[in-house]
């Protein structure tokens, strides 16, 4: 079924502007690539009004909170990578934080076993939201238009409604029982009959919350009416977030991870994202090898990538966490010599075994229901943003009368160090639960330069598959010379150390390549779509967008 579903998804989008890999449309003035057509329209509206990439990013973030409730959010968090027209870079960490009352063993029973439901669903699963503070912080530093103007598209979408897509109707119907369980008094995503494509989703409570944010900035969410509703919701369901937690939350500007891959400068996210360090490690692993000569998804190319991923995810499980709580050995992990040493022990004639691979000398399973957007403007600025509630629709719990869903990001901690989380990733002491700590993430928003000029903006949702999807998309463009839409569309594969399997999308590998890898001992496991990459390529003629046909993703520009 998964193979058929993926094929149908791709066919549905063939011929549509944002999937035409052969004749990519070029925009001279600006471009927005996001996970929903209405969100892309909101960003484009702001660009056309004279706004810059940051203004558009804020508009898209709040629009996604309305039109993509499975992952777009004001009750979650994320990471933002910024590059100015002059080449100055910065990254913003607006990741959620553990409440002050959180404790190391809060999701374990009396025998020390993880109680999975507690960290995944309901009020106890929620971390302190960071999205609203992150957007305000970003706009204050780099925005151009008035705050009220860039908030307006999202407010109108919530107030007037929008037509849901076929994929969204299916998702809402699938999650109906969970919505009813955790929201017995009801909210906008629940209705008496089943949802159908084209139905209007109107969210008056969310519109009111967005108006408070528009009119009162930070105080419209972290104080006053909305904060009181969050606290009431916590009390109603046994959650931990307090008035003090909300008042204390602040997003943080952090120094980007900046590295080199051949002639390209990579600008990406530092911890508490594991993505930036892991991406650079993967690029370092691939750089000495002739992958261009081997070819796209050839057996040698795949084997190299899998063996690199195996070692990088082993490191991730031990060495990465919130840098405000744990000393991440960033310099060593990013050393080219270190990564070459890690790759020295693999053999071409057989697979490595993950149980034999440990961290280098010097993971928990993450939800795939994240979302990403990439934006570039007429001034030459660019933004790459990945944002999430963690699981699809987060904790499935909405703040009563405020109209938005809370995240379930607490599951991204090592609930029990050494045990896998909901996405199969193993975590260690560096990512153990502590009050006020940010949970580790795989989100990898990235911007790439060539010869001092903007070259590419890229990112994706996908939980533990984010890092490998971004890595493969970059190689598709740089090494295999694929147009940006084709680089995004082609099938992908994924390995993450544990479980010791190579996950494949349909037609990712030829039968010949599969047989060669199987003979070497690799376990190949088919699965559904991997990631939903949204990317921008800067050419001499302008911007070209790659919007992933695995979802409702849309590239719009002018």
- The pLDDT > 90 percentage for the chain reads 84
Q: Is 370 a catalytic site residue?
A: yes
What pLDDT score was predicted for residue 352?
Answer: 80
Q: Is 36 helix (H, G, I), strand (E, B) or coil?
A: coil
For 59-87, write each residue's pLDDT tens digit.
Answer: 999 999 999 999 999 999 999 999 999 99
CA nearest neighbour of 470 among 385, 530, 382, 533: 533
**Those residues with Cβ within 8 angstroms of residue 553's Cβ, 6 or more apart along the chain or in another chain:** 18, 33, 34, 35, 36, 532, 534, 547
For residues 389, 395, 401 and 402, what is the CA-based torsion angle, rounded to 10 degrees? -10
For 229-283, write each residue's pLDDT tens digit.
Answer: 999 999 999 999 999 999 999 999 999 999 999 999 999 999 999 999 999 999 9
For 111-135, write each residue's pLDDT tens digit.
Answer: 988 888 999 999 999 999 999 999 9
Q: What is the pTM of this model?
A: 0.93
The catalytically annotated residue of 370, 397, 446, 489 is 370
**pLDDT higher than 50, residue 8:** no
What pLDDT score was predicted for residue 367?
Answer: 56
Question: What strands lie across the sheet with 370-376, from one edge to the other?
Answer: 252-254, 89-94, 77-83, 382-388, 370-376, 31-34, 554-557
What pLDDT score was predicted for residue 13?
Answer: 38
**pLDDT higher than 90, residue 436:** yes
For 323-336, write each residue's pLDDT tens digit.
Answer: 999 999 999 999 99
What pLDDT score was predicted for residue 429?
Answer: 81
- Select the more confidently predicted residue: 369 or 140: 140
pLDDT mean over 174-182: 96
Compute the distance between CA of residue 168 and CA of residue 529 in angstroms, rounded to an integer.
16
Compute the distance between CA of residue 155 and CA of residue 2 in angstroms, rounded to an integer.
36
What pLDDT score was predicted for residue 425?
Answer: 53
What pLDDT score was predicted for residue 114?
Answer: 85
CA nearest neighbour of 45 among 534, 558, 553, 547: 558
Q: Are 45 and 38 in contact (CB under 8 A)?
A: no
- Select the more confidently predicted residue: 3 or 525: 525
**pLDDT higher than 60, residue 422:** no
For 19-66, write each residue's pLDDT tens digit.
Answer: 444 567 999 999 999 999 999 999 999 999 999 999 999 999 999 999
**pLDDT higher than 50, residue 1:** no
What pLDDT score was predicted for residue 112?
Answer: 87
**pLDDT higher than 80, residue 359:** no
Q: Are 460 and 466 in contact (CB under 8 A)?
A: yes
83 bridge partner residues: 89, 382
As separate numbers, helices (DSSP H) first and strands (DSSP E) second, the chain gives 20, 19
**pLDDT higher than 80, residue 364:** no
pLDDT mean over 505-525: 97
Query: Tokens at residue 511, please?
Result: 């039968």
Other beta carbons within 10 Å of 74: 29
Per-chain mean pLDDT for the chain:
92
CA nearest neighbour of 305 among 473, 536, 512: 473
What pLDDT score was predicted for residue 466?
Answer: 97
Compute the distance between CA of residue 253 and CA of residue 171 in angstroms, rounded to an integer.
35
**97 alpha-carbon distance from chain centroid:** 17
Q: Are 339 and 285 in contact (CB under 8 A)?
A: yes
**How far is CA 517 from each of CA 154, 285, 302, 521, 522, rounded to the nearest angstrom?**
48, 19, 9, 7, 6
- Select the more confidently predicted residue: 362 or 472: 472
For 527-546, write each residue's pLDDT tens digit.
Answer: 999 999 999 999 999 999 99
What pLDDT score was predicted for residue 113?
Answer: 86
- The pLDDT > 70 percentage for the chain reads 92
pLDDT mean over 355-372: 64
**pLDDT higher than 50, residue 3:** no
CA nearest neighbour of 33 among 443, 485, 379, 478: 485
**Those residues with Cβ within 8 angstroms of residue 174's Cβ, 6 or more apart along the chain or in another chain:** none
**pLDDT higher than 90, residue 351:** no
Compute the distance between CA of residue 123 and CA of residue 132 in angstroms, rounded to an integer.
19
């Amino acid at each position: 079924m998964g193979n058929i579903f993926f094929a149908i998804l791709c066919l549905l989008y063939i011929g549509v502007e944002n999937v035409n890999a052969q004749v990519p449309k070029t925009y001279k003035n600006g471009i927005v690539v996001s996970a929903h057509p209405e969100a892309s329209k909101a960003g484009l509206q702001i660009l056309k009004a004279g706004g810059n990439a940051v203004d558009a990013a804020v508009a898209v973030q709040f629009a996604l909170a309305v039109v993509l409730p499975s992952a777009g959010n004001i009750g979650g968090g994320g990471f933002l990578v910024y590059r100015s027209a002059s080449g100055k870079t910065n990254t913003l960490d607006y990741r959620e934080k553990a409440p002050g009352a959180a404790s190391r063993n809060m999701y374990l029973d009396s025998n020390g076993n993880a109680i999975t439901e507690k960290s995944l669903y309901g009020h106890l699963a929620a971390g302190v939201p960071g999205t609203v503070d992150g957007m305000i912080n970003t706009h204050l530093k780099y925005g151009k238009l008035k705050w009220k103007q860039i908030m307006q598209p999202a407010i109108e979408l919530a107030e007037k409604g929008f037509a849901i897509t076929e994929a969204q109707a299916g998702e809402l119907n699938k999650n109906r029982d969970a919505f009813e369980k955790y929201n017995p008094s009801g909210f906008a995503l629940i209705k008496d009959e089943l949802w159908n494509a084209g139905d209007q989703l109107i969210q008056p409570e969310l519109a009111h919350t967005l108006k408070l944010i528009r009119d009162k900035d930070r105080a419209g969410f972290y104080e006053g009416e909305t904060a009181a509703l969050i606290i009431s919701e916590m009390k109603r369901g046994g959650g931990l977030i307090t008035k003090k937690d909300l008042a204390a939350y602040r997003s943080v500007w952090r120094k980007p991870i900046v590295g080199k891959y051949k002639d390209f400068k990579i600008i990406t996210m530092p911890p508490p994202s594991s993505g930036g360090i892991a991406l650079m490690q993967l690029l370092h692993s691939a750089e000495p090898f002739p992958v261009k000569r081997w070819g796209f998804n050839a057996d040698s190319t795949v084997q190299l990538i899998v063996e690199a991923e195996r070692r990088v995810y082993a490191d991730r499980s031990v060495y990465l966490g919130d840098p405000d709580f744990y000393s991440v050995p960033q310099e060593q992990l990013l050393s080219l010599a270190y990564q070459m040493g890690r790759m020295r022990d693999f053999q071409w004639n057989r697979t490595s075994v993950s149980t034999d691979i440990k961290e280098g000398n010097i993971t928990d399973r993450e939800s795939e229901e994240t979302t990403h957007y990439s934006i570039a403007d007429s001034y030459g600025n660019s933004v790459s943003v990945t944002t999430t509630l963690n699981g699809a629709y987060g904790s499935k719990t909405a703040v009563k009368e405020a109209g938005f869903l809370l995240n379930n990001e607490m599951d991204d901690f090592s609930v029990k160090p050494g045990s896998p989380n909901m996405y199969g990733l193993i975590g260690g002491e560096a990512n153990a639960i502590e009050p006020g700590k940010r949970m580790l993430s795989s989100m990898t928003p990235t911007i790439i330069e060539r010869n001092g000029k903007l070259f590419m903006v890229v990112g994706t949702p996908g939980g533990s598959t984010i890092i490998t999807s971004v890595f493969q998309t970059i190689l598709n463009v740089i090494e295999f010379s694929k147009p940006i839409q084709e680089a995004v569309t082609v099938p992908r594969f994924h390995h993450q150390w544990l479980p010791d399997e190579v996950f494949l999308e349909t037609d990712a590998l030829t039968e010949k390549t599969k047989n060669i890898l199987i003979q070497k001992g690799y376990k190949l496991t088919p699965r559904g779509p991997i990631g939903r990459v949204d990317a921008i390529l800067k050419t001499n003629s302008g911007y070209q967008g790659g919007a992933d046909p695995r979802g409702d993703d849309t590239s719009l520009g002018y």
